[in-house]
Structures are given as C-alpha cells and as structure tokens.
Amino acid sequence: MPKRENLKLDYALMLRGGCGPYGKPEGDMPAMLQDLSAVKTSLRSQWKSGRVPFFSVLDRQEDIAAARALATDVRRRFKTLVVVGIGGSDLGTRAILKALPPAKGGMTVNFLGANTDPEEVAAVLKEVDWRRTALNVVSKSGNTVEPLATFLVLRDRLIRAVGRKAHASHVICTTGESGALREIARREGYRTLPVPEDVGGRFSVLTPVGLFPIACAGLDAKGLLAGAAAVRDEFSSAPVGRNAPLIWAGLQHDAFFRGERITVLMPYAESLREFAFWFRQLWAESLGKSHDRDGRIVHAGFTPVAALGATDQHSQIQLYAEGPADKTVTFIEVEKMRADFTVPKPYSDLEGAAYLGGHRMSAILKAERLATARALAVAGHPNCTLTLPGVTPASIGGLLMFFMVATAAAAELFEVNAYDQPGVEAGKQIIYSLLGRRSSSKR
C-alpha cells in the first residue's frame, strides 16, 4: 500500500458558525454528505469500468517505464530540456518543477510554447546551446497552434546548429495516436511517448506528459505516483464524512448556489505558486459548461483565481474582505518547510521591528495565513485550509490527485462532463480559418 500522505482539510470557516450567513448551515451537512455518498459510489463505479482514466494512469506500468527509460537516455546525452507545450501539456509539469527543483545530476528544464510571443522565444534562443539541448514537444492532438508553431521555429534553429541528420536525436514528441505532430515524428524519426487517448490534457500530468520531464530533472517520479495513489485509494476507502476531496467539492458546489462563484486558491508557499495556475485550468475547463449531460442548459462552473500568500495579502485581500460576497478562499499551508530562519533582534528599542525578533520565518508565514483566514471569516467570507505535511514528491502527487478527485466529484454534483471542452474548440476553428488552414475536425 502506498504511504498515506495525511493531507488535512479544515473547513470550519466554511460553515455558518465559523463565518456567518454566507457559510453553509451546519444542519445541512447530513444532506450534503448523503449526496456525496452517491457521488463516491458513482466515481468508484466509473473507475472500475475505466471511465475515470486519471485514476488508472497510476497503474499503467508500460507508459511509466517508457517515460523513465527515455529520460535516463536523454539525461546521459544532454544538459538542458526545453518543453514545448501549453495548458494541460505543461502547467502540471511547471507546478511540479517549481515545487521540487531539479535534483543533483538532473537536467535544467525550460518551458516554451504556452504563447506565440516572439520575444519570449528570442530570449530562450539566446541562452540555448543546441549541442547539449533536447526538445520535448507535447501536444495530445498534435495540432495545437501555439506549441506547434514554437516547435517549428525551434526545430529550424536546431537543424542550423547540429545539422538535419543529427537533429532528430534531440527531439522527443509526446503526443496522441494521430495529428500533425505524430506524422512529423514518423517522417523525421523522432522518438515518441504516448499521451493516453482516454486522458484529457488537464488530467495528464501523471502520464508521460509530466513523468518524462520530471524524470529528466532527476526528480522522484515514483514518490510522486505513490502520493497520488495514496490519496486516490483513501478517497475510495474513507467514509464520506472524513473524505477530504469529496467534502471540499461539496462545499464549493453548495457555495455556487449561494452566489459564491469565484474560487480562490491561495498557497502560503512560494514553491506552490505554479500549482495554483494548474488548478485554475483544471477547475475552469472541467466545470465551465453550458449544458449538463442530458443537454439541459445549466451554465455551471466557477471562476478560479490563483493567489499567493503572503504576497497577495497586499494586493487582493482588501477586495476579498470588503468586496462582494461572491467567492470562497482555499488556503494551502505547509506544515514543515524545507528551510527556515530565525529573525535577528538588532533593534530592540524599536517596537515596529523588535516584535519580529526571535520568531521563525515559517511561524510568521503561518501566523499570516491564520490571521487572513480569521479576518475573512469575521468579515463573513467562507474559507478553508488544506495542510500538507511538507513539500515532497509524495505530498505534491497527493495534492494533484486531491484536486483531480474534487473536480470529478464537483462535475458529478453539477451533472456535467468534466472531461470535454467544447467552448475551446469553436475558438480553435476560427484561429485555423484566420491563419489559412483549409479545414479541420481535429482537436
């Protein structure tokens, strides 16, 4: 059994007794738990029938082994990896590498392709030594405009630097079974890794999409997967009343019908800054749907906001405290930081500075989080805190799985499809038309 990661959810300030009339009445909790019991039964049934693929990717040993083996070979030959992707193809990987910096002997990993900003590309090109650099272009459809355009520019520069014949050994394509990128890889002889056909991009970080760059950086992919499996299995086995991702999803769903349709995710750790951006796509794209699964108009979904504590206490909290009662805030706290400092006491005669002396910086950060949570509650704004034991591969894997489970559960409550994105496709077709592509039914 994977080690349990003990992610703890404190939702007392989401309830009416904790934050006033905009919180959930305690007396309504039994009905919510009953609904969540049905959600759990449904998701477990879907898991067994293969319809919750982000659960099963943790057990797909062939894909995991392929990503790790190819990373081992690439690390032997190159010092830098440039990942070219957008959205689900790179946000999760960015989040992990921000949380868990490259290990000793690991490759330096850079990212491009999330925008077609030529100045960003130019800045990276100035730094790249192509002889020691590998390219990993990631696109499930193989047709996505931003990474494909960026890759074609980088490929041209790579060929100029190392030659047409040699360049192929620098390129790895992580893609689906069809599309332009798959065909390019076939023609050029590029090595490939699969994006499972049944896994949407925003749920794909624990497939070769994320596992290959993570392994190139020398990180503990095994620990990451074990932490995710622990949260998945605890969701399956824990009673609904102690099932943190289910309860979090239920409280957010309930808040929607009280008009609290903005979800703020605010980690109190610089290492988790990018994690909030991964969550932003997951929550928005999975739940923002005009119709439910039976075709009824629902206009479901939340507006997710990525914030960072304590930084955004000085940029956003004024709005959250005194602005519209249209949002919930979820804080993420790290119980044990990987480094810490005690504040010195050089100015004992200046009260404005002296009171800080002797405090650990981690204790100050925790006090800031607690004070913000209490101040919001006093102002009547619901909030909750998810606590990690530390920032480790297992805890990050668990955190990723927590929010994927919660998103799937929220989709069940709204009765919408968490795994499609029809609102994105219309814009893609217009882009194709504007840029001169004749026609496309491909995603």
Q: Decide if 428 is catalytic.
A: yes
To the question of domain 56-220 being in CATH 3.40.50.10490, the answer is: yes
SS (H, E, C) the chain: CCCCCCCEEECHHHEHHHHCCCCECHHHHHHHHHHHHHHHHHHHHHHHCCCCHHHHHHHCHHHHHHHHHHHHHHHHHCCEEEEECCHHHCHHHHHHHHHCCCCCCCCEEEEECCCCCHHHHHHHHHHCCHHHEEEEEEECCCCCHHHHHHHHHHHHHHHHHHCHHHHHHHEEEEECCCCHHHHHHHHHCCEEEECCCCCCHHHCCCCHHHHHHHHHCCCCHHHHHHHHHHHHHHHHHCCHHHCHHHHHHHHHHHHHCCCCCEEEEEECCHHHHHHHHHHHHHHHHHHCEEECCCCCEEEECCEEEECCCCHHHHCCHHHHHHCCCCEEEEEEEEEECCCCCECCCCCCCCHHHHCCCCCEHHHHHHHHHHHHHHHHHHCCCCEEEEEEEECCHHHHHHHHHHHHHHHHHHHHHHCCCCCCCHHHHHHHHHHHHHCCCCCCCCC
Q: Decide if 126 is catalytic.
A: no
pLDDT of residue 439: 57
Q: Which CATH number fits domain 8-46+223-422: 3.90.1150.10, 3.40.50.10090, 3.40.50.10490, 3.20.20.70?
A: 3.40.50.10490
Domains of the chain: which residue ranges? 8-46+223-422, 56-220
pLDDT interval class at 433 (50, 70, 90) = confident
Asked if domains 8-46+223-422 and 56-220 share a fold, the reply is: yes
Q: Which of 285, 289, 381, 412 is the catalytic position? A: 285
Q: Decide if 188 is catalytic.
A: no
Tens of pLDDT along 181-205?
Answer: 999 999 999 999 999 999 999 999 9
Q: Kindly report whether the global pTM for this prediction surpasses the value 0.75.
A: yes
Comparing 92-106, 114-128, 425-439, the range with the smallest average pLDDT is 425-439
pLDDT of residue 421: 81
pLDDT at 323 over 90: yes
pLDDT interval class at 2 (50, 70, 90) = very low
